[in-house]
Chains A and B, each alone.
Chain A
Amino acid sequence: AQSVTQLGSHVSVSEGALVLLRCNYSSSVPPYLFWYVQYPNQGLQLLLKYTSAATLVKGINGFEAEFKKSETSFHLTKPSAHMSDAAEYFCAVSDGGATNKLIFGTGTLLAVQP
């Protein structure tokens, strides 16, 4: 069965500092991986996705993530945090099989300090 593990339920950074949110996955087949962001009282929106075309994926708002098969990781980074990045971030995995289920991690709440 597929799963994702997000290390760190809360991460706090200073404005302008590097953002690093960790995601490790488990999948018996080559996975499709996603990062979503959720702002308060809103639904989820896609930041970026990995679909095997390139291991370094660039998304919206300056975020990027690198797929590392040897480490089964798909960590999300941004070089310089903005106050507007404060939100909850979810990593998700899909196996692309007949069911196409999308399974989410437990989320990381990012706080950005002025």
Chain B
Amino acid sequence: NAGVTQTPKFQVLKTGQSMTLQCAQDMNHEYMSWYRQDPGMGLRLIHYSVGAGITDQGEVPNGYNVSRSTTEDFPLRLLSAAPSQTSVYFCASRPPPGGSTEAFFGQGTRLTVV
């Protein structure tokens, strides 16, 4: 099993460009989430999904879109990149029932918006 795979690992964008951060898991987990990590702020939840076709907003959803068409994939789209979106992004998945189960994390995508 590869676990949670994120691509790309590094990305530089210009302000206003759009891009998609990819996340795939091969563990058949129902729950998937996207976080951003910024110095001194820990990990903040952007969007999450409790199953294919079901997504919802987390703490900091503005400027990001998600969709979940399959159990395996949970891409994060930046519609019009801004310097404030410079961050390290982590995707995570959890098996059911979710509450008491640990989250498995990808290695992260380091995004710089110039």
A→B interface (CB under 8 Å): 6, 9, 32, 34, 42-46, 49, 51, 90, 94-107
Contact = CB atoms under 8 A, between A and B. Distances in A.
Contacts of A101: 33, 45, 48, 58
Contact of A96 (B48, B99, B106): B99
Contact of A99 (B4, B48, B103): B48
Contacts of A94: 98-100
Contact of A43 (B42, B44, B90, B98): B90
Interface of B: 4, 31, 33, 35, 40-45, 48, 50, 56, 58-59, 90, 92, 94, 97-100, 102-103, 105-108
Given A43-B108, A44-B90, A97 B99 contact: yes
Nearest to B35: A104
A104 B44 CA distance: 7
Contacts of A107: 42-43
Nearest to A108: B42
8 contacts: A43-B108, A49-B102, A90-B43, A96-B100, A99-B50, A100-B99, A105-B42, A106-B42
A96 B94 CA distance: 12
A96 B97 contact: yes
Contact of B40 (A9, A32, A43): A9
Given A42-B107, A46-B102, A100 B94 contact: yes
Nearest to B31: A100
B35 to A, nearest CB: 7
A46 B102 CA distance: 7
Nearest to B6: A43
A1 to B, nearest CB: 10
Contacts of B31: 100
A102 B90 contact: no
